[in-house]
Structure formats: structure tokens, C-alpha cells
Chain A
Amino acid sequence: ITDVALLMFLTNKNTFCCFIQLPAVCQASNRKLHFSIYGKKGDAKVSDGISTQYPVVDHEFDAVVVGAGGAGLRAAFGLSEAGFNTACVTKLFPTRSHTVAAQGGINAALGNMEEDDWRWHFYDTVKGSDWLGDQDAIHYMTEQAPAAVVELENFGMPFSRTEEGRIYQRAFGGQSLKFGKGGQAHRCCCVADRTGHSLLHTLYGRSLRYDTSYFVEYFALDLLMEDGECKGVIALCMEDGSIHRFRAKNTVIATGGYGRTFFSCTSAHTSTGDGNAMVTRAGLPCQDLEFVQFHPTGIYGAGCLITEGCRGEGGILINSEGERFMERYAPNAKDLASRDVVSRSMTIEIREGRGVGPVKDHVYLQLHHLPPQQLATRLPGISETAMIFAGVDVTKEPIPVLPTVHYNMGGIPTNYKGQAITHENGEDMVVPGLYACGEAGCASVHGANRLGANSLLDLVVFGRACALTIAETNTPDTRHNPENCDLFIYLSFFLIGEKLSPLKPNAGEASVANLDKIRFANGSTRTSEIRLNMQKTMQNHAAVFRTGDVLKEGCEKMDSVYKSMDDIKTFDRGIVWNTDLVETLELQNLMLNAVQTIVSAEARKESRGAHAREDFKDREDEYDYSKPLQGQVKKPFEQHWRKHTMSYVDPKTGKVTLEYRRVIDSSLNADDCAAIPPAIRSY
């Protein structure tokens, strides 16, 4: 940067202030400190636009990213790298996001262990999604996978290596070669046993190179929508209780999943589906929320999953009568039956009253009949796990387990570029200014069932896709970010850089009114009680075992739990670090997700992927793919179920309306990669 430019910059208030504050011992750099607790001070304006009780601080950015997990960080620094003035609003410190708990690997067709092709990965993912995934998005993801993994490795992520020094890949997650005909494929790259942790730290470290403004511990309340266009986010600063409006032309939502709607889940307490709820309150749809991935043996209370290897080594599941109940449900395979069979059997036992524990809501996994040395050699660490999470000595007592939620395939509908879409008159319409990625988004790469090690890939690929799409369609407004470009670019962007469209001075009023209402709520039921009711209802009615009556009963119960939210009672009346208030806001978000999940599940009368129903055991597509297609009549759109569910909620009453959207069956480029026609999914 030349001296002439320096002179110009000195007239800008921002750089002038920071120039003074840096100690002279590092005087050569005129870059601002990347991180400040209060955000970029220069642009903040306090106003009384919404209410005199709640003064609002207004910020202006080119792009706002809500959520700082794997996808959020990738989007945030992708945007900063492209020169955009980006804010990252997160309720947790970036390295505390739930991505850190993803210890599995990332799939990519690098071809290090054997010859591999991303088209085979594409086939496996389409098949795994039970043909509910959008094939253009899957094409995009699997084609970008090798480049994404190499990029991560260049950022410094320490993948494990082969002898030659290439990234080591192992067999995992239903991956095959040659479109399912070539045997097991080795595609899963990992970093020792902490891939997600390493990914998050690598991305966070990389993001510090760029000028993203982090707003840590800011709880995003709502989207600022005007005329169907997303103009920013309104958030509550938890630290001092101030309300902040982040005005930006582009908003990226990467808030993660909503595991906490169920009683037993592997997700952190912070996985509350805030992004899905924000979008729902803005009147936009959420997609495929009924597809929730369960695992049969999760430790009761802790939510930690016990590996299938326990049953593989001889562990058995027993009910309150001490009976090995799997013999009745799967006489041949017994405890080694497939996961969904085991989950359903466990749930049926619990429903019929043969559960264990004071409320009879779980079963036991017994391992103490096996010799302790065998356990220690074959399953090292299990005694430690059982002691820490269940408080039992695995050589003497059984472990309490129940089916547990692990991942949410559904979320905010997007196209393959990451732009949020809505469905009107049979057509997909892009919502201007809104993007979604990660577990919160549903570009539908996972469809009805997620394959292992694909979700970390989903995060980085679609995080980058959102950043690229925004960079393609916008130019940064450089008046806010002069340091990152030289004089010529600065001047040219000054002329053509896009200014923000005007926003009503009282935008976000409804969110603040809601906040105020909850802060002074004085009903009769506590937040924790309502939350427990919701979680128990969802666990009993919308879990693995789904039949018409159970789901209908669950829908009615959820409706009453939703209505009981009007009678909520909070205790903390303060505004500084009011966790009672934030937990209640999170509960509101969870409720919206829960009602959509259960109503969509009730409406979908088929079994597909993770959504398995007892009364409708088969998949219903437009043709019957188990028989030859010749001579079959194609069923009309209304009569088959190979379609996405789009759910809307009226936040006041909790009433859910459903619509359906076609699955995209064509890949991005038919010559490059042929689309896979639907078939019966069997492994």
C-alpha cells in the first residue's frame, strides 16, 4: 500500500483510530486487530427506532454469517477472502461449536488407496439418500470433494498419511467402487480420532488471517425480511443485553441441527435449530424435517452412542424381565439385526411396558456375561466409557440404552449453490439475500438418509459454495474495508460498490417484543418442564417407531405442549447474561422444529431411509422399481412420495401446513456425470 493511499486512509476515522492504538513496536502493519469483543466500533450507531427500553445498535456489513461451526467459518472466511466486509454472529465461541464433536472422517474420492472416481461416490450418495437427494447438489458435492479435502490439507489440517505421504483413506460409510459393483471403496480421510475438532480449529485459525468481525455470544433472534428479501439479522448480545441489527445484503445461515427436540440425542445442548426457526418465523419453508437419523444404542441420560461392536462381540439387549427380546423380533440375526430393526424392537418393548428404570423408558445392554479380558482387548476403553457416562461397571452391570437422535437430514431448502429457495406455483424461487449451509441447510445431499463421513464434507463444500455464490453476484462495498485493497480498486469500488437498501427504522420490532414478553413472563410452567414435555413427547411418538395412531396422538400432544408455551414462567428479569431468557428463546425455536417434524412424519405415508413406518413399510415412488418399468403407468405427483416436504408454521397457533416439491433428478452436467435413475435400495 503506497504512501498516497496511507494519506487517504488517514482521513478515514476507522484507520486513524487504529493507527494510534497499535504500539509502535509493530508499526509496519496498519491492519486492524482481527478480533474485538465489541465488533468494529466505527460503524455502530445506536438508535431508538424500535423501543426506548431497548436501544438498538445498527451495524452495516456486506455479508452476515449466523453460526460459526464448520460451515459457518468456511463461509465467513471465504467471504472475507473475496474482500467482503463480513460479520460472523455466533452464540458460542467458534471452537465450541458442535462440529468439534464429529470425530469420524471426511469422504473424498482422492484415489490414494486404490483407483477411485468421484462419480462412484456420487452413485453411493444418491443410493444412500434413497433417491430423495437432489442429484445436482450431490454432483456438486462429490465433484468438489477431492479439491475441498486438498484445500483443507493446505490450510494445515493434519490428516493421517500412508507410507508414501499421501492422505490415508479407510473403508467407511457404505462406499463402493464402480457404481456398487466393484467392492468396498476406501474413501474416508481422517485426522487421528478427532477430525471434526481438527477441522474446526484449522478453519478458525485460517479465518483469523482475514478481517472477519466476530460477534461471539450474540444470540440471533430473527431475520430482517422486507418484501420477501432478507436484509439482515437482529441479535441479542448476551454479555450486556443490547440488541444489535446487522444489516447486510447477504445472510448465510449455518446454525446446525436441532437434536435437542428429542429426549435422547448425541447433540450438544446448544443444538436448538435456531436457523430453521428463524426461517420459519420469516414465513419461509423448511424441507424434509421428518428425516431424523437414529442410532439404537445411546446411553440413557448422556446421549453418547455405544458401538454396534458391543453386540457384535456378544453383547445382548434385555428388557425388564431379563429376556433377550431380540430373539422374538429377528430370530436369525437376533442382536445383530440391522440398526432400524433393533431400534424399532427396543421402542416396541418400551411401549409395551417392558422397559427398565423408574419410568420404564429404556432397555439394558448386557456385557457382563462376556469375559473381561475379551472385552478389554476387543473393545478397549468401553469400561471407561460406561463408567464415565452411565456410571456402571461394565463387567458387573448392564448399560442403560435407548434409541438416540444423531443427525437431522432436513433443514432450510437451498439449491446447489447454497441459495435459500421457496416453492411457489410448482417452481423453485430463490429468496434474495438468504443462503444456508451445513446441517441447517438442506441442499438435499443426504436425502432420506445420511451416509457416514459425508456430513463433514457437506459443511466445507457448501460453506465454500455460499461464499462463491455471494462473490459472483455481489461487489463488496469498500468504504468499510479500505485496508484490503489498493488505491485503484478502492476508488473503483467506491463508485460501483453496492450500497445497502434502506430498512424501516423499526425493523425487528416483533422480535424485541417477543423478547420482552419472555423476559417478564409470569405464567405457571417453567421452561425446563415444557422442554422436558416436548422431548418426552417427541421421543415417544416421533422416534424410531412410527405408526399412524402413534404419530397422530403425538401431533395432538405436541399441539398442546405448543399451546402451553403461552403459560411459561421465567425467573430472571435482568438483561445481562440472562440464560433463562436465552433458554426460553431456544425452546421457542425447538418447538417450531418439533411440530414440523412430527406433522411431516405423520403425513408421509411410506417408509424411506430414516423415516420408517410400521403401517406403510414400502417405498412409494412414481413407478414400482422392484418390477421392470415396461408397462407401468407413472403415478401422478400427488400419489407418490418421492418428493420433498416443505413445511410452514404459523408461529402464533403452531399450525403446520405442508407442501411438496419435486426431487431434482438431473445432475449438473449429463455428459460429465449421468444421473442415476431410481432403483430399489439394497445393500
Chain B
Amino acid sequence: MTHASSFSIVKTFFSCVIFCCDKGKVHNRLVQGPRNMSLLRVCCTTTRGFVKRGLFLESTYTACHWTAGYASGGVTKDKEPLKKAKTPQGRFDMDETESKSKDVLERFPDGVNPETKEKGGPRGPEPTRYGDWERKGRCIDF
């Protein structure tokens, strides 16, 4: 019983901390800062106090137990990885695959230039072939 109660206290404090952190991020002006910060401070000091009182070990144990429970399919069963929902394609949106193939300068296989064996070098033909540093018809340096 004590485990469950301390676990719930930890959960509420952490969610409190997270809530305050989020709030703090939204209003990043120092004017509103003190109000949110004081709340955060309260949560932090109490959490610190909590920690100091030696219940830290217990709470980590319960936290581990909590995450361990998820891994073994405790609450929900996730067979497939969660997919990010795609927003509907707009009129001007390009297909992802289409934009990659339209790129004029092709990537070398594995990033290695087959003639010079340069790894991670500039794409396309050798930039210094005309005496200046050329890219896409532009002169970058000379």
C-alpha cells in the first residue's frame, strides 16, 4: 500500500513539475516569470525535500517498475510502431519522392566520389574544374 501511495505522490509531483515547466516555456518573459517560477520553485523544493527524506530510492524503484510494466505490455499492446498522422496533401505540396529526384546534383553512392574517392565531398562534378569554385553554375570563390 505504501508503495502505491508513494508512487502516486511521485506521479502527481512529476506531472506538476512538467506542467509548470510547460507553462514556463510558453511565457518566457520575465514579467510573468516570477508567478510561474514560484510555483515551480514550490514543486522543486518539495520534490527536493521528498528526495532528501530518502524516499528517492523507493520512488526510482517504483518508477522503474512503472516503465518495466509498459515494456511487458502492461497497459496497452503496441504491436506496430506509432505512425505520425500525415496532414492532407495541399494543392502546392510536392510529393516527397518527387522533390528528391528533381535535385540536379545527384548524391554519390555512400557519399563517396567514385573518381577521386573523396568521402563527404561536394556533389556533382569537381567544383574546381574551371579554376574557380563552381556550384550549380555559380562561382563561389575564385
Inter-chain contacts of B30 with A (CB < 8 A):
38
Q: Are A23 and B44 in contact (CB under 8 A)?
A: yes
Interface string of A630-659 (1 = CB under 8 A from B): 000000000000000000000000000000
User: B128 at interface (Cβ–Cβ under 8 A)?
Assistant: yes
Q: Which of B17, B125, B128 has the most CB of A within 10 A?
A: B128
Number of residues on chain B facing chain A (CB within 8 A): 40
Inter-chain contacts of B134 with A (CB < 8 A):
307, 309, 379
Docked pose: A172 CA to B122 CA in angstroms: 14
Inter-chain contacts of B133 with A (CB < 8 A):
103-105, 172, 452-453
Residue of A nearest to B28 (CB): A37
Inter-chain contacts of B138 with A (CB < 8 A):
304-307, 381, 385
Could you name 16 residue pairs across A and B whose Cβ atoms are closer than 8 Å?
A: A23-B21, A25-B44, A105-B133, A158-B120, A160-B118, A161-B120, A168-B119, A172-B128, A172-B133, A193-B135, A307-B137, A309-B134, A384-B136, A386-B137, A452-B133, A452-B142
Shortest CB distance B120–A (Å): 4
Docked pose: A103 CA to B134 CA in angstroms: 10
User: B129 at interface (Cβ–Cβ under 8 A)?
Assistant: yes
Q: Are A163 and B142 in contact (CB under 8 A)?
A: no
Q: Which of A162, A191, A305, A307 has the most CB of B within 10 A?
A: A307
- A→B interface (CB under 8 Å): 20-21, 23-25, 27, 38, 102-105, 158-163, 168, 170-173, 188, 190-193, 295, 297, 304-310, 312, 339, 378-386, 406, 452-453
Shortest CB distance B140–A (Å): 4
CB proximity to A under 8 Å, residues B87-142: 104-105, 116-142
Residue from A168, A171, A306, A453 within 8 A of B118 (CB atoms): A168
Residue of A nearest to B45 (CB): A24
Number of CB contacts from chain A to chain B under 8 A: 129
Shortest CB distance A210–B (Å): 23
Shortest CB distance A4–B (Å): 21
Shortest CB distance B114–A (Å): 12
Docked pose: A380 CA to B139 CA in angstroms: 13
User: B23 at interface (Cβ–Cβ under 8 A)?
Assistant: no
Residue of A nearest to B128 (CB): A172
Q: Are A163 and B17 in contact (CB under 8 A)?
A: no
User: Known contacts being A21-B37, A163-B117, A295-B142, is A379 close to B137, with CB within 8 Å?
Assistant: yes
Q: Which of B37, B117, B139 has the most CB of A within 10 A?
A: B139
Docked pose: A378 CA to B128 CA in angstroms: 13
Docked pose: A32 CA to B61 CA in angstroms: 31
Shortest CB distance A590–B (Å): 24
Q: Are B122 and A192 in contact (CB under 8 A)?
A: yes
Inter-chain contacts of A158 with B (CB < 8 A):
120
Docked pose: A161 CA to B30 CA in angstroms: 47
Interface string of B43-82 (1 = CB under 8 A from A): 0110110010000000000000000000000000000000
User: Known contacts being A381-B105, A381-B135, is A192 close to B130, with CB within 8 Å?
Assistant: no
- B→A interface (CB under 8 Å): 17, 21, 30, 37, 40-41, 44-45, 47-48, 51, 104-105, 116-142
Docked pose: A165 CA to B116 CA in angstroms: 13
* Contacts beyond the supplied A193-B127, A379-B134, A381-B105: 20 A-B pairs with Cβ under 8 Å: A24-B45, A24-B51, A25-B44, A103-B133, A103-B135, A104-B141, A160-B119, A160-B122, A161-B119, A163-B117, A168-B116, A190-B121, A190-B122, A191-B120, A295-B139, A307-B137, A309-B134, A378-B125, A381-B124, A381-B138
Q: Are B48 and A27 in contact (CB under 8 A)?
A: yes
Q: Are A307 and B121 in contact (CB under 8 A)?
A: no
Docked pose: A308 CA to B142 CA in angstroms: 9
Shortest CB distance A125–B (Å): 15
Shortest CB distance A394–B (Å): 8
Interface of A is mostly: loop
Docked pose: A102 CA to B142 CA in angstroms: 11
Inter-chain contacts of A104 with B (CB < 8 A):
133, 140-141
Q: Which of A103, A171, A453 has the most CB of B within 10 A?
A: A103
Shortest CB distance B24–A (Å): 9
Interface of B is mostly: loop
User: Known contacts being A103-B135, A104-B133, is A23 close to B119, with CB within 8 Å?
Assistant: no
Inter-chain contacts of B37 with A (CB < 8 A):
20-21
Inter-chain contacts of A310 with B (CB < 8 A):
137
Inter-chain contacts of B131 with A (CB < 8 A):
308
Q: Are B130 and A380 in contact (CB under 8 A)?
A: no
Q: Are A103 and B141 in contact (CB under 8 A)?
A: yes
Shortest CB distance B104–A (Å): 5
Q: Are A312 and B130 in contact (CB under 8 A)?
A: yes
Inter-chain contacts of A173 with B (CB < 8 A):
141
Residue of A nearest to B106 (CB): A380
Inter-chain contacts of B121 with A (CB < 8 A):
160, 168, 190, 192
Docked pose: A307 CA to B127 CA in angstroms: 10
Q: Are B118 and A23 in contact (CB under 8 A)?
A: no
Residue of A nearest to B48 (CB): A24
Residue of B nearest to A170 (CB): B128
Inter-chain contacts of A312 with B (CB < 8 A):
130
Q: Are A306 and B137 in contact (CB under 8 A)?
A: yes
Q: Are B118 and A162 in contact (CB under 8 A)?
A: yes
Inter-chain contacts of B120 with A (CB < 8 A):
158-161, 191-192
Inter-chain contacts of A103 with B (CB < 8 A):
133, 135, 140-141
Q: Are A380 and B132 in contact (CB under 8 A)?
A: no
Shortest CB distance A61–B (Å): 21
Q: Are A307 and B130 in contact (CB under 8 A)?
A: yes
Q: Are B136 and A23 in contact (CB under 8 A)?
A: no
Inter-chain contacts of A382 with B (CB < 8 A):
136-137
Inter-chain contacts of A339 with B (CB < 8 A):
142
Q: Are B128 and A171 in contact (CB under 8 A)?
A: yes
Shortest CB distance B31–A (Å): 12
Q: Which of B30, B40, B44, B136 has the most CB of A within 10 A?
A: B136
Q: Which of A102, A104, A188 has the most CB of B within 10 A?
A: A104
Docked pose: A452 CA to B133 CA in angstroms: 9
Shortest CB distance A308–B (Å): 5
Shortest CB distance A37–B (Å): 8
Q: Are A24 and B47 in contact (CB under 8 A)?
A: yes
Q: Are B137 and A161 in contact (CB under 8 A)?
A: no
Residue from B44, B135, B139 within 8 A of A308 (CB atoms): B139
Q: Are B104 and A384 in contact (CB under 8 A)?
A: yes
Docked pose: A105 CA to B47 CA in angstroms: 52
Q: Which of B44, B119, B134, B142 has the most CB of A within 10 A?
A: B142
Q: Are B47 and A162 in contact (CB under 8 A)?
A: no
Docked pose: A481 CA to B65 CA in angstroms: 43
User: Known contacts being A23-B40, A192-B123, A381-B105, is A453 close to B141, with CB within 8 Å?
Assistant: yes
Docked pose: A295 CA to B138 CA in angstroms: 12
Residue from B40, B118, B126, B139 within 8 A of A307 (CB atoms): B139
Q: Which of B51, B121, B133 has the most CB of A within 10 A?
A: B133
Q: Are B104 and A381 in contact (CB under 8 A)?
A: yes
Inter-chain contacts of B17 with A (CB < 8 A):
23, 25
Shortest CB distance B112–A (Å): 8
Shortest CB distance A106–B (Å): 11
Shortest CB distance B58–A (Å): 18
Q: Which of B122, B127, B130, B137 has the most CB of A within 10 A?
A: B137
